[in-house]
Amino acid sequence: MTALSPSRHALSSLLLPHPAQTAGLDAKAISRAKLGDIGAFTEIVQAYYARCLRFARAMLVEPDDAEDMVQEAFVRLYRALPRYEERQRFESWLFQILGNCCRTANTVAHRNAARLVTDDELLERIPAETRTDDDALSAWGDSVRDALAEVPEHNREIFLLHYVEGFSYDEIERMTGVRQSALKMRVKRASDFLRARLSREAR
């Protein structure tokens, strides 16, 4: 094991959930959604919303903006679906869009200055019980969430994508354009920081 590749065992003390698994999604739903089937798009939202919400809450400077960012990401996703090419794994494409939304939101000095792209018809397709679901963060303790918030954004995003969402370094390289050697260093720095931060709290 090299210094640039912290093991999952070494991170087990962080009490992070295992890489997320997405609720069953009909493989044909994406193809139907590309053709404008709003029902199929709703299936996609229901399958991925909780994961996206967890990721956004961990990424954003203002976690209360998470639902707005996830909704914006799904609106962008719907509009871009006709251009989706299946050689890229769908969920990595979705999280690429969501990551862009979160990074943009984090550059805004005041949360009220952000102007979100909205589409009432699409947002109505997100069931209310899904929009307000907090189960996606239930496995995370307050100390872990607080520590993650202190990790620099460029390291935090890669850590979340790899160790929490389960994306490979190959996928993350395609999603972000950052070389794998740099990605591994960012994950190492994030995990080293989290271990040190949580160890101090445990004393």
- Model pLDDT for residues 154-186, shown as the tens digit of each residue: 899 999 999 888 899 999 999 999 999 999 999
Is 3.40.50.800 the CATH classification of the domain at 140-203?
A: no
- CA atoms of 161 and 168, how far apart (whole Å): 8
Q: Specify the pTM.
A: 0.71
Fold of the domain spanning 23-135: Rna Polymerase Sigma Factor; Chain: A (1.10.1740)
Q: Which pLDDT score is estimated for 41?
A: 92
Q: Which pLDDT score is estimated for 28?
A: 87
Mean predicted confidence (pLDDT) in 64-73: 91
Q: Which pLDDT score is estimated for 79?
A: 92
Q: In one letter, which amino acid is 120?
A: D
The residue ranking higher by pLDDT, 106 or 201, is 106
Q: Which pLDDT score is estimated for 112?
A: 47
Mean predicted confidence (pLDDT) in 76-86: 89
- CA atoms of 138 and 54, how far apart (whole Å): 10
All residues at 6 or more sequence positions from 115 whose CB lies less than 8 Å from its CB, including other chains? none
Q: Which pLDDT score is estimated for 203?
A: 59
- CA atoms of 26 and 193, how far apart (whole Å): 39
Mean predicted confidence (pLDDT) in 108-117: 46
Coil, helix or strand for 46?
helix
Indicate whether 56 pLDDT > 90.
yes
The domain ranges of the chain are 23-135, 140-203
Nearest to 156 by CA among 182, 133, 187, 202: 187
Predicted confidence band of residue 14 (pLDDT cuts 50, 70, 90): very low
Tell me how far apart the 2 most distant CA atoms of the chain are, in Å: 56
- CA atoms of 91 and 128, how far apart (whole Å): 23
Indicate whether 189 pLDDT > 70.
yes
Q: In one letter, which amino acid is 153?
A: E
Q: Which pLDDT score is estimated for 45?
A: 92
Predicted confidence band of residue 99 (pLDDT cuts 50, 70, 90): very high
Structure tokens at 143: 């100390």
Q: How many other C-beta atoms can be found within 10 angstroms of the C-beta atom of residue 140?
A: 18
Q: By percentage, how much of the chain surpasses pLDDT 90? A: 38
Chain position carrying tokens 């993350």: 172
